[in-house]
Amino acid sequence: MSHLADLTATQMASAVRAKEVSPVELVDAVLQRIDDRRDLNAFITVTHEEARAQARLAEDKVMTGGELPPLHGVPYSVKDLLNTAGVRTTMGSRLFEDNVPTADAVSVARSKAAGAILVGKTTTPEFGHLQAATSPLFGRTLNPIDPKVTPGASSSGSAVAVATGMGPLSLGTDGGGSSRIPAACCGVVGFKPSLGTIPHLQLPDLFGANSYVGPMARTVDDVALMFSAICGPDFHDTYGQAEKLLHKGGASLSGLRIGYIAEGGARVARETAAITAAAVKKLEDAGALVDEAVIDFKSYEPVFLTILRVGLAARTGPLLQGRDELVSQTLIDTITLGEGYSAVELSNANSARTRLFRELQALFERFDILVSPTLTAPPLPIDVDPSGDIEIDGVDCGTIRGAWYPFTFPQNLSGHPAITIPCGKTASGLPLGLHICAPWYRDVALLQVATEAEALFT
């Protein structure tokens, strides 16, 4: 049975349709894998009984015949920042330790409608506020490849879960790379779609949205399968009012104009740079037209931090109300910093988002996609200070956001879709990711390109 947990979502869905395997067998295999890998601490809540009950219903539907939805019988998990009706949703915080929502997030509801079966909620730092896979509520999540390095954050548990067969799919959230960073650290695929393609109605400010819901999986095909099931407009979403060019595909590496961003204004580790360049050369050998693209992503770190900190202060500050002992010091520090910004500073930061959007659009007049390393260096040590500076090749490069992931947070500000796919490993066996970004609403084309690229790297 254990080998069933290692099937991809695409394989599971196909096997269920062909009656080669039962949804009950799939769910049992995944739940067993979750129980066997408790050492990784990827789940806050596991829905053993609920998942098995849903699996039995799914099996009945298979046996009675008729058309099945695209993810019928496929187990999946959800990051514990997304609401799940009747299932505890903690936000990774003791403040919400006993919170049980009455309604699903749109992405969760659509996953259910597509036939997927929820097996549990995955770990995240409190409110996804920092680049560390730890929380006062659940402790520390470990990287399955090397427990001495971080699995990335804040969709930590989701990346670890899909990497180890604890469900082939997971719904993550991405507020600055929070799906793509852990995906790169764990050697899997993380996708941040265009703004408005997957509704995220839990955000208090939909007009200024910079957090996204996106699928995570071991393969691009699985990400695309889930994306097709949960994307689409929503009457209540400010950016989701009309059908977009989501299904405009036809993209291929042959003749594709690729802009290669080698540094983005930051220092890139020598080994990371070499492996990324080798991956880009494979794209070129496959027929892509590669040229250098230059943009100073790192200079936008203060913009990102202003919006992040002010948003956290506004949303979570009122929740403390003298309960500081329940939360981490880093969250308190972030709230304090957020409360210190002026309205003018926030307005200037929002204006800078427009400037960044225009810079990227100018590049997309020359290129079809942009590629770069996902991270400037391999996964950092597990005990790295998320509020301190980091070293790359022995050089102090500044704070973690601008120094380690300057390639991921810009798309949260600009709204462009982006994906990370594994592209190689360091000499010590740590995974590295290639980051691919496309114009707005070219999500399907981006996934097609990523599928071709993935085949070159495996």
Residues annotated as part of the active site: 79, 154, 178
Residue 382 Rama label (left phi>0; alpha psi -120 to 50; beta): alpha
Residue 414 near residue 353 (C-beta atoms within 8 A): yes
- DSSP letter for 180, please: H
| Residues with Cβ within 8 Å of residue 393, at least 6 apart in sequence | 267, 269, 270
Residue 268 near residue 406 (C-beta atoms within 8 A): no
| Residues with Cβ within 8 Å of residue 275, at least 6 apart in sequence | 423, 424, 425, 426, 432
What distances in angstroms separate CA 317 from CA 94, 163, 303, 311, 440, one per listed residue?
Answer: 14, 34, 20, 10, 33
Residue 257 near residue 393 (C-beta atoms within 8 A): no
Q: For residue 357, which amino acid is it?
A: F
Distance CA 58, CA 74 (A): 10
Residue 156 near residue 213 (C-beta atoms within 8 A): no
CA dihedral (216, 110, 167, 126) in degrees, to 10, reads 60
- Among candidates 422, 380, 425, which has minimal Cα distance to 405? 380
CA angle 165, 170, 174 (to 5 degrees): 135
Q: Looking at the chain, how many residues does it have?
A: 458
| Residues with Cβ within 8 Å of residue 371, at least 6 apart in sequence | 258, 259, 260, 261, 280, 283, 434, 435, 436, 437
Distance CA 190, CA 179 (A): 5
